[in-house]
Structure 1
Amino acid sequence: MSDLSLLTIVTTAMVLLAIALGVIGPALAMGRAISQALEALARQPESEKAIMRTLFIGLAMIESLAIYVLVIALIVLFRNPLIALIQ
């Protein structure tokens, strides 16, 4: 097995691990945010608009973390700076 193919396999495995670990945090945060919003709606249904607006803004911020992980992982996968050292 050549050094280039070994580097490609290791890089791909690390990117998969980074995406998996990087999405766990935002997924747990989204679940907790939705749970707390539903609990707040059950307590005070008259403040639905304010709670939903705040929930959607918070979910967008949380989702941006997962998107950043994906972007960085794709940069590492397709523009790996270590490939230049092997060739």
Structure 2
Amino acid sequence: MEAEAAKFIGAGIACVGMAGAAMGVGNIFGNFLSGALRNPSAAQAQFGNLIFGFAVTEALGIFSFLVALLLLFAV
């Protein structure tokens, strides 16, 4: 196998983390919506936790994208 092909395969595998981040964001917002519909008075108190979970999940997705780019364009 050539080194160029291995770089493309490695970058593709590294992008799997972005799919995991997308599923995580959907899970976070879906569970928040479910909880907010069951107890609307507590929804505002949990909004900060929602934003924090979203930020951490997206940061992990961006990190996996960065790893994929480093695999593609690094020496």
TM-score calculated relative to the size of structure 2:
0.82
Equivalences, count: 75
- Tell me, yes or no, if structure 1 residue 7 matches structure 2 residue 3: yes
Larger radius of gyration: 1
- After superposition, what is the alpha-carbon deviation per residue over 1:44-69, rounded to whole angstroms, capped at 9, x for unaligned? 11122222221111010011111111
More helix by share: 1
Counterpart residue type for residue 44 of structure 1: N
Q: Which has the higher contact order (CA 8 A, sep 6+)?
A: 2
Fraction of identical pairs, as percent: 25
Which segments of structure 1 move beyond 4 Å, counting only runs of 4 or more? none
Equivalent position of 1:30 in the other structure = 25
- After superposition, what is the alpha-carbon deviation per residue over 1:15-41, rounded to whole angstroms, capped at 9, x for unaligned? 12321x112222222111111100110
Cα deviation for residue 43 of structure 1 reads 1.3
Equivalent position of 1:51 in the other structure = 46
| C-alpha RMSD over aligned residues | 1.8
Counterpart residue type for residue 15 of structure 1: A
